[in-house]
Structure 1
Amino acid sequence: MSINAIAQQTGLDRKTVRKYLKRGLEGPSYCPRAPRPRLLEPFEDYLSKRIRAGPGLSGRRLFRDVCALGLTGGYTILTNFLRTISLRSTRPFERQFETCGGAAQQIL
């Protein structure tokens, strides 16, 4: 069959048909992409130290500080990173027990 006939039957452009005929019977080869460097990576140590020093700092404040140091990324990449290193205080375990009416007065 000619390239034009194959293109008409498959609904592809003739240049696409020509490309696949030139390639032969082997299919396209896909491979994983190489990891890209993260924009926030140079500032992660700085942010970790700031969070440990002042756990009450807001994300906006840290974003301003890191932008002044040269961050070109957005606020979202900072907040995603802060979620991974957040120092959430866990409430201590409390044992609760039920008493009959008036029995709690005797325990205290």
Structure 2
Amino acid sequence: MSEPRAPQGQAAAVRFLDLDGVADKAAFMERCATVLGLPDWFGRNWDALADALADPGQWPDSGRGLVLVVTGWQAFETRGPGQWATARDVLTEAVRRRRGSEAPLTVALGLV
């Protein structure tokens, strides 16, 4: 399997968002902040996450595409279906906003 590539041919950065043990929004936001290397001033709310995902300048290895592989989401969905629905909507919208750009966002849901 080849590496995911941004349109300009550079390999996209790949980060794994493991939601194992994440039980609520606060833990989800903390996990996102850690995995994405977001600054301390990251607001840890849905709007702040949407803004961070839409801004490749805040991504690891900024300027390239980003592939975010989400694992453990099924258990998070079971524990907090409303929180997962919101998270999924935020991720989907961020992907849509970056589609066709020089630094696209791809979100892959792991099925393990």
TM-score, normalised to structure 1, is 0.24
- Report which of the two has the higher share of strand: 2
- Report which of the two has the higher share of helix: 1
TM-score, normalised to structure 2, is 0.24
